[in-house]
Amino acid sequence: MAGKTYYITTPIYYVNDVPHIGHAYTTIAADVAARFKRLAGYDTLFLTGTDEHGVNIERVASQNGVSPQEWTDRIAAEFKNLWQFLNISNDDFIRTTESRHQRVAAGIFTHLFETGDIYQGRYEGWYCTSCESFYLESELGPDRTCPVHTGKKTEWTSEESYLFRLSKYQDWLLRYIKEHPSGIEPEARRNEVTSFVRGGLKDISVSRSTFSWGVPVPFDPRHVIYVWIDALTNYISALGYPDGERFRRYWPADVHLVGKEIVRFHAVYWPILLHAARIEVPKQTFAHGWLTFGGKRFSKSLGIVIDPAALAREIAAEAGTDVPIAVDALRYFLLREIPFGADGDFNKPALVHRFNADLANDYGNLLSRTVPQIERHFGGQIPSPAATKGSVSLLRETSASAANGLDAYITRLDFARALDGIWRLLGVANKYLDEEAPWRSVKTDRERAGTALYNTLEAVRIATILLSPWLPTATQRAWDQLGIGAPLSNQRLGDAQRWGALPAGTRVRPGAPIFPRIESKPVAAASAPAQTGGNAEVSAISIDEFRKLDIRIAEILEAKRVPNTDKLIEAKIDLGGEVRTIITGLIPQYQPEELVGKRIVVLANLEPRRVRGVDSHGMLLAAEWEGRVALLTVEKNAPKGARIT
C-alpha cells in the first residue's frame, strides 16, 4: 500500500450563519472516509474550510453591525469548534480570506485572462444571492423564485463583468465525462450533469463590481472575483498550488464530496476551469443527497436547522453517558440510516433505536457479556483458544469478509454496506456466544468456555478496529477494556484481517457499559427493578402499611430473554411451592443464564400486569444507582417462600 495517496475534500461552507446538521453530515462522511483510508495505509489528506466572500456575507455582517472580517472570523471559529466537537480529523482548514488562498485565486484568474479564456463583457440574468448563482428564466420557480431555495425571489442583475469561456469547452467536457464515468457519482447526478451540458453551456460571469467583499481582480480592482470561482480554487490553494509539495503529492483529489445542489459547480465549472488552466481534473465529485426534516431540506436560508452539538448533548443526557459517546452515535447513525447518495429524513426515534439496538446491544454488550466472565473465571486473563473446541469457521469467515470488503465500499462511499458487513460479524459473534454459553460450559469444560471467550473477543477486536473510523471514542474505550498493549491508533486494516492476532494472556480491564441504553419511558415502566432512585421522594409509612407488602424469598428456576426487547428477561421463580413468571429489566447488568439458581427477594403481592404479551406477577427487588443494578439476595440460605417482616 506504500505510496498510495488519498485526498478528500468537503465543500467550504458559507459563513453567513452558524453550522447545522446538514454541514455535519458531509463533514462526518468525509471524516469517516479519511479515517478509514488512513487505517488502510493511504497517505491521506482531508481538507475542509469556509467560504467567506460574497454579497451575502457582506450583508449579514452589516446587519450584525460588524465588519465582514470580524463576522467571518466569528463564524469560521464556530465551524472549527464544531468539527473538533464532532471528532473530525481534518488535516487542514482553509479560509478564503487567507492570503495563501487569495494569492492562488487571483493568480489563476490573471492566467486565464492572459490566455483569453476570461474576457471583459456584460452580464445580465436572474441571480439568487443565496446560491450566488445566475439562473436561466426556464430554470426558475413560480414568480421567478430560485430553483434551489424554494420561495426565494431571484434578482435581475445586470453589470459590467468579466466572463469565462465555458461554451468553448462544452464538447471537451462531454467527452471527458464519457471517458471518465466515475468522475461524477452517483449515476443519477452524472446523468443530470450530462444533460445540463448537452443543453448548451453559456459563458459565465466571473467577476462582480456591485460590492467589494471578495478577492480583487488583480488587473482591475473595481471588480472582485465571482465567489464560486474564488471558492472552488480552495481545493488547490490549500495544497500550495502551483509549486507546493502537497500539491505535487495529493493532486488530483480523489473525491470532492458535496451536496447534490452544488454538483454543477463542481462537475462543470471546476473541471473546465482546471482544464483551461492546464491543471489536472479531480478524479471524482460525489454528490450526496439531502438530509431532510419532515421532508424539507435542512437549510439556514429555509429556516430548518438542528444544531448537531445540542443534539449530541441531548442524547448524552438521555443515555446517561458522556457527550463524545453520543457524538459517536450520531456519526454512526447518519451514515447507517440513509444510503449515502439518497435523500433521507432525520428522525430522532430512529437514532435512539440505533443507539440501543446496534451500539448498546450488538456491539457494547459483546464486551459486557465476555470481559466480566474472563475476570470471574479466568483470573482476568484472556485464555488460549483450543482448536478442537467448537466451530469457529463461520465467525472467521464473516470477520474476513467484513474486513476485506471494506476498502472497496469506502472507495465507493457506500457507508451503509460497509457497516452491514461489520454488523453481520457482530451478529454472528453474538450468536456464537449464545450457543457456546461459556458461563454454563465453564462448570463442565473450562477449555471450551475459554475458547468461546477468546473467539468472541477476537471478533470484538476485529470489529473494534473496523469501527474506529465511525466511532473514534467508543472503539478506544472498547480497546481499553480488551487490554491489548498496542494502541488502537497504531492498528492498520491488516491487523483486522488477521484472525488470531489477539494475544492470549492479555489482561482485560472491565469497565462501564460503553453505550448505556437510552430508556424510553414505556420500557422503563415495564422493567421491574425497584424504583428507589436517589431523587425519589420517600414519605414515611406506618408499620401497618409495610405489613401490606408481601416480600418473600424466591429462587430463579429459569430465565430467558424476552424476544425483540433489549433489556427484558422472563424469569420463572419458585416462591416455596408456588411458581410464577416475572418480567424484569435486568439486561445488560445481568444475562439470563447467570440468574438461574439465584435466591432473590420478591415483592409477591404486586398486581399482575401484562408485559409484552406475558403475565408478570411480582417484582424482583434490586438496587439501582447511577444506571447500575444489583439484585437483592439473602444470607444463610433462607428457604424459598420465607417472608420478610
Q: Rounded CA gap, 104 and 427, in Å? A: 51
> Cβ 26 to ligand ME8, closest distance in Å?
3
Near ligand ME8 by CB under 6 A: residue from 214, 259, 383, 483 = 259
- Interface with ligand ME8: number of residues (CB under 6 A): 21
What are phi and psi for residue 299, nearest 5 degrees? -165, 140
- Residues 272-311, one symbol each (x = binds ligand ME8 by CB under 6 A, - = not), give ------------------xx-----xxx------------
* CB-based contact 488:349 (threshold 8 Å): no
Minimum CB distance to ligand ME8 smaller for 132 or for 414: 132
For ligand ME8, the binding residue among 6, 7, 8, 12 (CB under 6 A) is 12
Q: Is 583 in the site for ligand ME8 (CB under 6 A)?
A: no
Q: What minimum distance in Å lies between the beta carbon of 27 and ligand ME8?
A: 8
Site for ligand ME8 in 208-247 (CB under 6 A): 231-232, 234
Query: Judged by CB under 6 A, which stretch of 183-191, 254-262, 347-355, 512-520 contacts ligand ME8?
Result: 254-262
Ramachandran region, residue 87 (left: φ > 0; alpha: ψ -120 to 50; beta: rest): left
Q: What share of the chain is helix, strand, coil (3-state, %, to 5)?
A: 45, 20, 35
Looking at the Cβ atoms of 28 and 484, the one nearer to ligand ME8 is 28
Q: Is 101 in the site for ligand ME8 (CB under 6 A)?
A: no
* Cβ at position 291, least distance to ligand ME8 in Å: 4
Note whether 14 binds ligand ME8 by CB under 6 A: yes
Which one of 6, 8, 23, 374 is in contact with ligand ME8 (CB under 6 A)?
23
Q: What backbone phi and psi angles, to 5 degrees, belong to 313?
A: -65, -40
**Which residues are registered as beta bridge partners of 340?**
342
User: CB count, 10 Å around CB of 598?
Assistant: 17
- Is 583 in a helix, a strand, or coil? strand
CA angle 99, 25, 342 (to 5 degrees): 125
Chosen residue from 6, 25, 213, 269 binding ligand ME8 by CB under 6 A? 25
Query: Nearer to ligand ME8 by C-beta: 232 or 482?
Result: 232
Residue 124, number of CB atoms within 10 A of its CB: 12
- At its nearest, how many Å lie between ligand ME8 and the CB of residue 280? 17
Least Cβ distance, residue 231 to ligand ME8 (angstroms): 4
CA atoms within 13 A of residue 184's CA, in its CB half-sphere: 25
CB of 198 to ligand ME8, least distance (A): 24
Distance CA 171, CA 220 (A): 31
Q: Which is nearer to ligand ME8, 11 or 472 (CB)?
A: 11
Instruction: Name which position in 30, 39, 75, 258 contacts ligand ME8 (CB under 6 A).
Output: 258
Name the one range near ligand ME8 by CB under 6 A: 12-20, 82-90, 540-548, 554-562: 12-20
Options 8, 36, 51, 441; binder of ligand ME8; rule CB under 6 A: 51
Smallest separation (angstroms) from ligand ME8 to the CB of 148: 10
Query: Which residue in 226, 232, 229 sits closest to 214, CA to CA?
Result: 226
Selected range binding ligand ME8 among 134-142, 186-194, 253-261, 472-480, rule: CB under 6 A: 253-261
Rounded CA gap, 49 and 566, in Å? 41
Distance CA 557, CA 26 (A): 52
- With CB atoms as reference, the residue minimizing the distance to ligand ME8 is 22
- By CB under 6 A, tell whether 528 contacts ligand ME8: no
Contact pick of 22, 214, 308, 472 for ligand ME8 (by CB under 6 A): 22
- Asked whether position 127 contacts ligand ME8 by CB under 6 A, the answer is no
Alpha helices, DSSP H, located in 86-186 = 99-114, 170-179
DSSP 5: E
Q: Which is nearer to ligand ME8, 150 or 589 (CB)?
A: 150
**What distance separates the 2 farthest-apart alpha carbons in the chain?**
99
DSSP string, 258-273: EEGGGHHIIIIIHHHH
Nearer to ligand ME8, 344 or 618 (CB): 344
DSSP 186-221: SHHHHHHHHHHHHT-PPPEE-EE-S---SPBPTT-T
Which residue's CB is nearer to ligand ME8, number 50 or number 399?
A: 50
Contact 237, 9 (CB under 8 A): no
Asked if 88 contacts 31 with a C-beta cutoff of 8 angstroms, the reply is yes
Interacting span for ligand ME8 (CB under 6 A) from 11-19, 164-172, 602-610, 611-619 = 11-19
- φ, ψ (nearest 5 deg) of residue 356: -75, -50
Write down the least CB distance from residue 135 to ligand ME8, Å: 15
The least CB distance from residue 338 to ligand ME8, in Å, is: 10
Span near ligand ME8 by CB under 6 A; candidates 105-113, 258-266, 333-341, 501-509 = 258-266
Cα distances from 233 to residues 51, 103, 185, 225, 239, in angstroms, run 11, 10, 21, 11, 10
List 284's β-bridge partners, or say none.
Answer: none
Beta strand segments in 227-294, E: 255-259, 285-288, 291-293
Specify the residue, 188 or 596, whose C-beta has the smaller distance to ligand ME8: 188
Q: How far is the CB of 282 from ligand ME8 (least distance, A)?
A: 12
Q: Is 262 in the site for ligand ME8 (CB under 6 A)?
A: yes
Cβ proximity to ligand ME8: between 232 and 488 the closer is 232
Cα 54 to Cα 13, 122, 131: the distances in Å are 12, 19, 10
Q: Which is nearer to ligand ME8, 340 or 590 (CB)?
A: 340
CA distance 319 to 317: 5
In the 8-state DSSP scheme, what is residue 515? S
Q: Which triple of cell numbers denotes residue 292?
A: 431532510
Of these, 7, 8, 11, 618, which contacts ligand ME8 (CB under 6 A)? 11
Comparison of 17 and 480: residue with beta carbon closer to ligand ME8: 17
Alpha-carbon dihedral sign for residues 402, 405, 410, 413: negative
Number of neighbours of residue 338 by Cβ within 10 angstroms: 22
Is there a contact between 511 and 588 (Cβ–Cβ < 8 Å)?
no
Stretch 454-513 residues interacting with ligand ME8 (CB under 6 A): none
- Choose between 13 and 226: whose C-beta lies nearer to ligand ME8: 13
Nearer to ligand ME8, 259 or 585 (CB): 259
Q: Which is nearer to ligand ME8, 23 or 208 (CB)?
A: 23
Positions that interact with ligand ME8 (CB under 6 A) = 11-14, 22-23, 25-26, 51, 231-232, 234, 258-259, 261-262, 290-291, 297-299
